[in-house]
Structure 1
């Protein structure tokens, strides 16, 4: 198999390099729209007629779950699991008590605030949440495309955005989850820092740490790269300023609940849901699909970042490893594959790889599309999609 370097300029690459800004935007919109349409059809049209048995949840039932649930076409299908919590926050605000039970303070504020803002237009929370997440994912795809195009070529840009759009876990960029928004703000922060735009990097970093706890990975990533590349002092300031979203959320918790770390303490209620790595690895060896995906996404993503560390922007590599380190330290393994999907550095790395080996890229995207449909069906039926 011929290896094509992303920077080569054969006839195909020359044509790609001369494409206009508008053509790039059309590509991004098309790939976003097609992949979201596949999810919509699977959840809204196929799921209600699929011969799937209703799931049985043991222990504490998920918020808004109805026993023996059978999906019917509605916007509510997009708001299962965490979506129900985000809707509750957007409509009722936060709640918290030190009683070892589930409380909404576990979820960071920027996404529900965005939902609330869209709800002010008269839309119900499930529609508002779906719109915010999908449009944010579109923005993330466009920023990733521009970053990859500036750094490498149109070919790498197209592959990177295709990976991010068609990855099975891009399901969470359509349902009422914070994935799309998180990818948008972290990609914007990383691209800004890579280009030396430190004020923008600090602003986007602040939004990232207000969206999800793993946004704090930007802080050490910025500081490490600033030190390695001997960047100006403002680069260090940008790294520290990215902590702003987390500090503001902590201040809110201190004022409203007299506990600045309420969002940390409430995680104990979710701790029992997470398996440990020993259990995950044993089950993966038994070819259990869920745990095999956890191993492949986490450890495979780490290996890919290491293998391509010299090809990727240093800040993307640092952020990728810091994010994996946070996931490993917290032990949030029931959602590890989804968290790894939220690391844009891995999509950028796969984009570079598939631009060099397009046949493997097409095969992977085909497999992604099949799994994406399956995940969408399961999510609509209230099955956990790890």
Structure 2
């Protein structure tokens, strides 16, 4: 006999669960819209920025112009330089929507925001199956409210790539290899970091002793980038044009220790002192040493304090460090913390998630610079998952993180609207 009450409870729980991604998506979009369309236009033009105006133009900035040019005029590649560094799928999708009468800005905004909603659902359902509801909820909240999620609401490829790469990873874990190949191929046609999916699938197939079709699916993932390479060969006479053109953005491929050293110096001694090549203002390094000293004392005497006091203490110290040094703290900590958490939770992640995450982080480390580092790390979904597991295990840090990230997302949204650098 069917237990009607039990069945009703399960249906209610399932419905509530499926409402969570939509609710958190709506909350994050509302926050971004308020910041960009209501608050930013009221503020004066900042130094090195512009006065934001009410309109869809605030969602287009920096790299957005390249996607517009590709969608309307195609690719350019002259003397080893051009917009071929931007992979085609996002612009092709925008062009398809433009063909039915939508302006480019409307098409781009729709692609980003709808793809992000679908991404949150795919992420939630995937983690619900492998990690449970608690981890799924924390991870979805983190993904939606992380400050770099501003790029999932604007005319950028982040949302589309997150959707396609996550769908491919989930399909692989579910042994749905046709879907793996399709979503994976689309992902490698969206962003260069999609290349990390290919060895990630092959290594996971080997690790889990999967059937030969798992290897085939992993190899077929390369169809996206191979197709783009063929286009570059035919159109521009250089099959690797999208790699060669990267030199305009990152002139020295490999580990660029100088840019990492620059970020470290900006954090420890300050931008002003770094520019002058010496200590001209003692204030910044002095405050930095005080923060480090407080952190040491807090760690040394942690057993004498409650866990809450220790956690909140480190939270306050990190906030102080961010107020002192700004963006370099975010860029550096996002990369270091993400890499640490990927390894720390390696036994709780599925093999394909772990391999793709580590390979993606290795690509960023060897990319030749740290430009947009935190944004690129955010685009690698295993880093979000690893952080989500941590927040689920340590909810006090979860509430502190989400609160801080929400404030930062609001600030980043205003900065993007003012054409100031974000990420």
Q: TM-score, normalised by structure 2?
A: 0.81
Distance 1:176 1:74 in 2: 14
Distance 2:186 2:414 in 1: 32
Structure 2 partner of 1:7: none
Distance 2:16 2:334 in 1: 32
Partner secondary structure for residue 77 of structure 2: coil
Of residues 43-52 and 137-146 in structure 1, the stretch that sits farther from structure 2 once superposed is 43-52
Structure 2 partner of 1:86: 67
The structure 2 residue matched to 1:357, chosen from 394, 398, 402, is: 394
The structure 2 residue matched to 1:164, chosen from 143, 158, 165, is: 143
Please give the per-residue CA displacement for 1:95-137, whole angstroms capped at 9, x wherever unaligned.
111154xx22110000001111111221110111011011001
Query: Does the aligned pair in 1 maintain the 2:43–2:51 contact within 8 Å?
Result: no
Q: Structure 1: which 5+ runs fail to align?
A: 1-14, 57-68
Structure 2 counterparts to residues 1-386 of structure 1, below 5 A: 19-55=12-48, 69-98=50-79, 100=81, 103-271=82-250, 276-286=259-269, 287-386=324-423
Query: Does the aligned pair in 1 maintain the 2:113–2:159 contact within 8 Å?
Result: yes
Distance 1:284 1:115 in 2: 40
Please give the per-residue CA displacement for 1:224-273, whole angstroms capped at 9, x wherever unaligned.
11111111111111111111100000000011111111111111111269
- Measured after TM superposition, the shift of residue 350 of structure 1 is 2.1
Please give the per-residue CA displacement for 1:21-58, whole angstroms capped at 9, x wherever unaligned.
432222111110110111111011111112452416xx
Of residues 203-212 and 86-95 in structure 1, the stretch that sits farther from structure 2 once superposed is 86-95
Q: Structure 2: which 5+ runs fail to align?
A: 1-7, 270-323
Higher helix share: 2
Change in CA separation of 1:261 and 1:74 when aligned onto 2, cut-off 3 Å = same
Please give the per-residue CA displacement for 1:313-338, whole angstroms capped at 9, x wherever unaligned.
11111111000011111124111100
Partner secondary structure for residue 122 of structure 1: coil
- Measured after TM superposition, the shift of residue 219 of structure 1 is 0.8
- Measured after TM superposition, the shift of residue 20 of structure 1 is 4.1
Higher radius of gyration, 1 or 2: 2
Change in CA separation of 1:16 and 1:98 when aligned onto 2, cut-off 3 Å = farther
Distance 1:180 1:49 in 2: 28
Query: Does the aligned pair in 2 maintain the 1:160–1:348 contact within 8 Å?
Result: yes
Partner secondary structure for residue 68 of structure 2: helix
Of residues 175-184 and 21-30 in structure 1, the stretch that sits farther from structure 2 once superposed is 21-30
Q: CA RMSD in A?
A: 1.8
Change in CA separation of 1:359 and 1:18 when aligned onto 2, cut-off 3 Å = farther
Q: TM-score, normalised by structure 1?
A: 0.89
Partner secondary structure for residue 78 of structure 2: coil
Distance 1:359 1:303 in 2: 19
Distance 1:99 1:247 in 2: 19
Query: Does the aligned pair in 1 maintain the 2:250–2:367 contact within 8 Å?
Result: no
Query: Does the aligned pair in 1 maintain the 2:134–2:392 contact within 8 Å?
Result: yes
Of residues 15-24 and 129-138 in structure 1, the stretch that sits farther from structure 2 once superposed is 15-24
